[in-house]
Amino acid sequence: MTSSQVTRNPRTAVPVLDAVGLVVSDMAASLAFYRRLGVDVPAGAAEAPHVEAALPGGLRVLWDTEETVRSYDPHWRRPEGGERIGLAFRCADPAAVDAAYADLLAAGHRGHLAPWDAVWGQRYAVVLDPDGMGVSLFADRPADG
């Protein structure tokens, strides 16, 4: 069986990454943040306890409120002391990293790492989503830059 057959067939023995789930304290605030980053969140979803949005390429983002998670996992507690997963959004070019960062800050979101030219050849920045999770913004820098 080829890897493309595994990817297309959700009933194979090999698990296929299908979605990234986020547990949020304020659904409306979280959806507004990710909409600003271009995620096509369904209209009218801000009041829902669970929301899904498909990304280009088929991966999905899932949002669940803390209350929803506690409904099936009563011992769940909000993580403390650092992140265990990070989301990274590729921007069109280095100027788009700066623009996206500025747009999110202007909308009231908190910056964590202002845009900089990283040693690994990218323009990079980190902004915090409404739950305080670092979300990276990046673009490859031109080879001569």
Which of the listed residues 78, 98, 115 is the one where a domain comes to its end? 78
Please state the pTM of the whole predicted model.
0.80
Position 78 scores a pLDDT of 86
| CATH number of the CATH domain containing 124 | 3.10.180.10
d(CA 15, CA 18): 9
Q: Are 127 and 110 in contact (CB under 8 A)?
A: yes
Domain boundary among 78, 109, 127: 78
**Are 33 and 69 in a shared domain?**
yes
Bridge partners of 54, per DSSP, are 60
The angle, 0 to 180 degrees and rounded to 10, between the axes of the packed helices 27-36 and 94-106 is: 150
Segment-wise mean pLDDT, segments of 10 residues, the chain, 145 residues: 50 80 95 96 94 94 94 89 82 96 97 95 94 93 79
Report how many domains make up the chain.
2
Domain edge (last residue) among 78, 108, 127:
78
Q: Are residues 24 and 34 in the same domain?
A: yes
Q: What domain range is 61 assigned to?
A: 17-78
